[in-house]
Amino acid sequence: MIELSAEAITFLMLGGLFVLILTGYPIAFVIGSVAMGTGLLVFGPTTTFHILYTRFYDLSLNYPYLAVPLFTFMGVILQHSGATKELYDNLYESLGSLKGGLALVTIIFGTILATCLGVIAASVTILTMMALKPMISKGYDKGLASGSVIAAGTLGILIPPSIMLVVYAPQAGLSIGQMMIGAFLPGLLLSSLYLLYVYIRCRMNPSLGPSIPKDEIQPFTAKRLWSLTKSLLPTVVLIFAVLGTIFAGLAPPTEAAAIGCLASVILAIIYKKFSWALLKKAAIETLRVSAFVVMIAAMSYAFVGIFMSAGAGDVVANLILSVPGGKWAAFAVIMLIVFLLGMFIEWIGIVFIIVPVFSPIFVKLGFDPLWAGLMVCVNLQMAFMTPPMAMSIFVLKGSAPPELGITMRDIIRGVFPFIGLVWVALILLTIFPQIITWLPHLMIAK
């Protein structure tokens, strides 16, 4: 064992984590190796293995994490149920005549999809396959089309049901139900900002998003209104099945997730898409995602256990609390740290590492923990859109048809304005915190 100051251990662990992430090794192995190496160096094998064992054991008994496989299963079943295609087609026929109409449809469809899917890869893939080709074929700017798909697809990690909220809440000692209800309006705020940006941009420069030809425009009749309403019903059913039961206090989030699974299976049966092959595919995807989450969670638990036991958490807390400018300057520093981490680390690693460190700081600064937690979650939207670690960008690039000629330059150019809009949303949520806290307070009042 080596005697090191808490400051040196902080530098060793955070610096080692950053350097090893740049090597490209899987994030779980990087986090776990830094934790193990530092623990053996500072505490020795006995204490290190005790810390790791107790952390892993606590994780295995964390009941709320059962919602992760349940929401994943629900999302995969819905993805293949056929309900989403009918909805997109109806929105396309209703709004395609507007300047930028197809991009607006994509964002609206992505917002609706976000209330059903909590897995980013699924949302972005669906939007890419259904929306990107129609936009490009109608002459849309490749950057605007790509940015709209990525921004809309990424909403699924914020708008409930969201795996991020399920992972974040237990780490911060918050209610998953309250976080889900609190995330609903910020998600709609982001969606509204995206829609406003696309509409204004295409009004100023119609060549970026031309409307569909007049001979393809169909009159909006009562029959079309009924078709649109009918295609929205699956989403309404799922929202009521999950969020409705949570808000009404009928079931906690884990049980509500199980109800959502049942509702998605029923919808797949109604649309005649349910089969044993689909059930097998959903089970395998659920196992893959759940194993990914648990693996990173276990390694991150180990990292945080060693980090906090060595006093490094106090070093970070004292550093942030001593920032000149008071609590708002300290909060701005935290938001900047989260943003920068999102460029290099996957969101789940960020959540498991920073939440145990930053949550006590939020309390010391006098912030509402629920509001502060959801501000971090909104901030993490950018982690999916900021290179080099930008999962949404890579999912779109990998799933986009090659004949469309979408380049990484097109995607990155198109996504930057939406990153700026997330910062605008953070500012608005800071000025008007009630956007986050209003619905959860209604829930508590009940």
SS (H, E, C) the chain: CCCCCHHHHHHHHHHHHHHHHCCCCCHHHHHHHHHHHHHHHHCCHHHHHHHHHHHHHHHHCCHHHHHHHHHHHHHHHHHCCCHHHHHHHHHHHHHCCCCCHHHHHHHHHHHHHHCCCCCHHHHHHHHHHHHHHHHHHCCCCHHHHHHHHHHHHHHHHCCCCCHHHHHHHHHHCCCHHHHHHHHHHHHHHHHHHHHHHHHHHHHHCHHHCCCCCHHHCCCCCHHHHHHHHHHHHHHHHHHHHHHHHHHCCCCCHHHHHHHHHHHHHHHHHHCCCCCHHHHHHHHHHHHHHHHHHHHHHHHHHHHHHHHHHCCHHHHHHHHHHCCCCHHHHHHHHHHHHHHHHHCCCCHHHHHHHHHHHHHHHHHHHCCCHHHHHHHHHHHHHHHHCCCCCCHHHHHHHHHCCHHHCCCHHHHHHHHHHHHHHHHHHHHHHHHCCHHHHHHHHHHHHC
Q: What is the pLDDT of residue 101?
A: 83
> Quick check: is 126 in a domain?
yes
> Quick check: is 11 in a domain?
no
Q: What is the pLDDT of residue 187?
A: 94
CB atoms within 10 A of CB 219: 6
Q: Which residue positions in the chain have pLDDT lower than 70?
A: 1, 24, 63-64, 79, 82-85, 95-97, 117-119, 212-222, 224-225, 249, 443-446
Q: What is the pLDDT of residue 82?
A: 67
* Global pTM exceeds 0.85: no
> Quick check: is 19 in a domain?
no
> Quick check: is 372 in a domain?
no
> Quick check: is 338 in a domain?
no
Q: What is the pLDDT of residue 144?
A: 93
Q: What is the pLDDT of residue 442?
A: 79
Count up the domains in the chain and report the number. Answer: 1
Both tokens assigned to 311: 């006093």
Q: What is the pLDDT of residue 194?
A: 96
Provide the residue range defining the domain that includes 422.
67-274+378-445
d(CA 86, CA 224): 12
Do 78 and 84 touch, CB atoms closer than 8 A?
A: yes
Taking only Cα atoms into account, the Rg of the chain, rounded to an integer number of angstroms, comes to 22
- The dihedral over CA atoms of 351, 354, 359, 365, expressed in degrees to the nearest 10, equals -130
> Quick check: is 315 in a domain?
no
> Quick check: is 206 in a domain?
yes
> Quick check: is 44 in a domain?
no
Do 297 and 68 touch, CB atoms closer than 8 A?
A: no
Q: What is the pLDDT of residue 145?
A: 92
Do 197 and 417 touch, CB atoms closer than 8 A?
A: yes
Q: What is the pLDDT of residue 51?
A: 78
59: Cα separation from own chain's centroid: 21
Both tokens assigned to 255: 């049980």
d(CA 131, CA 140): 11
Contacts of 251 (CB under 8 A, 6+ apart): 245, 259
